[in-house]
Structure 1
């Protein structure tokens, strides 16, 4: 019953996120007076704040009503709702702060994508984790915090490419003040990538330590499985982004494309974990989740 409630509210939040994304994108495409634009922004932002509170409510509901334990991250649904709960206030803060203007135009659809992903994880591809050791708990925390930083870096990258394209084509230059400068966006790509690199490194180290404890149970050739290769590929990409300021070749649009590629590989890593989960006996987003029925979780 509890899982049905979670799935229903995630569906409602996906619809709300889609509506917020539509309204946000329309602000770029249509011309408004200053008063109309201000009213449009306020209403959209208020709906987005409601979305943030709704997602946080789903996350807390799963903790207190579904899990009833001190471990909040026991399934991929928990991790995704936690990501959205943290990403929403982060986007609001960055937008109000002024030096990251325009990231919400990409961020709102990004949040909607995460909610849709959470809905699919709750309804069709549910997997439960078993973080029975402190090492696995740290691993889970590092993986999802790293994913949050990777997602924010990709949002900056997408905003950079979109803003650069508008400037090159000289499209609606009157609305250019809605976006931060390319230099600022590139700097924020580097900063968020540095945070993501730190958490991804921690996630890889704790994951390998957890796997090494089960070395005798692992099948031969586990170290070159798709999820291991993809996870290291993500680590390499964000190692490059972390050092962007020290090289010329990966500056500008190349850094933006790398941030998007890193997010794509990270999503593929989660997909590989789900696809090859039956081959590995551990339990985490980058290790092996064990399947659990809705009756047990609900």
Structure 2
């Protein structure tokens, strides 16, 4: 049996566990996926060393990692994949004997989402709003796709500058710069597409993260929020005629890539997307 878990806080509603379970079943695997939620266990961030010891003792083969552990867990690992090292964040740990290797499939999940969801649309010059953990993954994905110019804005301007400096050396052929949130209209008017990577639009943080009126009609919009699947941003973008990519594409992509790293098998991404949409529809019926 392959034993996998999800480590985080307040993750009872995460769709990652059911996505893993269903696809693993479809692949014919003996696969158990558990949730390790410190909001339920009453543990604290300081207890991460003890949590990791327990995970090892219980025989986990791998764990997915989410907020607030993506960076904290690094010092407790034996090594990092090249992408996890560059990002400074881990969302998957694979155990192999006494060794533990941190991976990051958030960026590859988003890269696949852009490839499939945006297709041949222009993506030479892009704007990204948000420079936190999700923003680091999406920016890295965009740069690996060969984006020539990427402008990053964040309400914390120092965070945007730090992210630009992190990637400038790794991607010398791309032009990276920052923009103030108050001056977004000018850069949005000249962009091929915009990526939103902040919590705005989630059920507890409704609203629009920025004004879409400056965008050229041909520009596309990509979202990382997937609960709700259609955020206010996506609704407004589609109303204005922009091609829009929902956050569920990234959620499915990171889950599929994690499954591949853990098992060595290739998940059926279209099947996982259909299951994801079933789960979203179920959530919406419960909320209604």
TM-score range for the pair, normalised by the shorter chain length: under 0.3
The structure with the greater share of residues assigned to helix is 1
Q: Determine which structure has more spread, i.e. the larger CA radius of gyration.
A: 1
